[in-house]
Amino acid sequence: MFDLPTLLGTDDPFLGLPIGIQSYSLRGFGLHDAIRHIQAMGLHHVEFYQKHVPLDIAGEKLKALNQLLNTAAINMVAHGVAGFNGNHEKNKSVFDFAKRVGVKCITANPTADAFESLDKLVAEYNIRIAIHNHGPGAIYDSIDSVVDAIKDHHPLIGACVDTGHFIRSKQDPVKAVYELKGRVYALHIKDEAKQEKQSHNVIIGKGHLDVVGLFTALKKTRFPADGSIALEYEANPENPIAEIKQCIEVAKTAIAKVHKS
């Protein structure tokens, strides 16, 4: 891995926050084109999903991926969203993958019977699990459901705050960051047109997301520098580039405003 602070120097528009993208936003593209677009957006962090980086990647394919990422100056900081259950060996295979590719955070949707296994695995591998909330009716569809899931477990089991899904569940994603303080290891930042199950993504700040409030919360709760903050835009999968770029600019403006306050 390259030295990111040295690479960015004093010109980092995100002021040290590990802002990147969830590659699901680019699901309409193959791996090479996705990386090309991420590089062109000026992003240096990515959370890949399984279409772009499958869990069985190894050998020459992994070597080729690492060469692509190094050339593009992009760090794979997270991967997901992974399902976990009571099958310890199957769970372990996901951690083996994470160790192999060098990520420190797995965004996850574990069933209730997975936690005994996950408590052991996060300790053994020193890799974080970040529980990803989904929309209304999902296992994790509220702030309290995530708080309750992690409270009695290993401190490396925390949260991936998906702002859009919380909005669809009529939950405040900014409040989620404060309520889960110290255990927020990842975010999927997106905005929604409606606070309802049936909605669609909009440019962040154009719907129900308080973008400045979100970055203020991340600053106040000291979001870890080695965490993952991934912009995610699920609308217009065939050609989302222009909308993603708008989201990036909104994020830059909000971060600058919070930095000055």
Q: Which CATH class is domain 15-260?
A: alpha beta
SS3 (DSSP) at 41:
coil
Q: What is the pTM of this model?
A: 0.94
Domain limits, the chain: 15-260
Is the per-residue pLDDT at 5 higher than 60? no
Tell me the pLDDT tens digit for each residue of 250-259.
999 999 999 8
Tell me the pLDDT tens digit for each residue of 125-153.
999 999 999 999 999 999 999 999 999 99
Can you spell out the DSSP letters for 142-182? SHHHHHHHHTTS-TTEEEEEEHHHHHHTT--HHHHHHHTTT
What's the 3-state SS for 133-150? CCCCCCCCCCHHHHHHHH
Can you spell out the DSSP letters for 63-86? HHHHHHHHHHT-EEEEEEEEEE-S
Tell me the pLDDT tens digit for each residue of 19-50.
999 999 999 999 999 999 999 999 999 999 99
Residue 11: pLDDT band with limits 50, 70, 90: confident
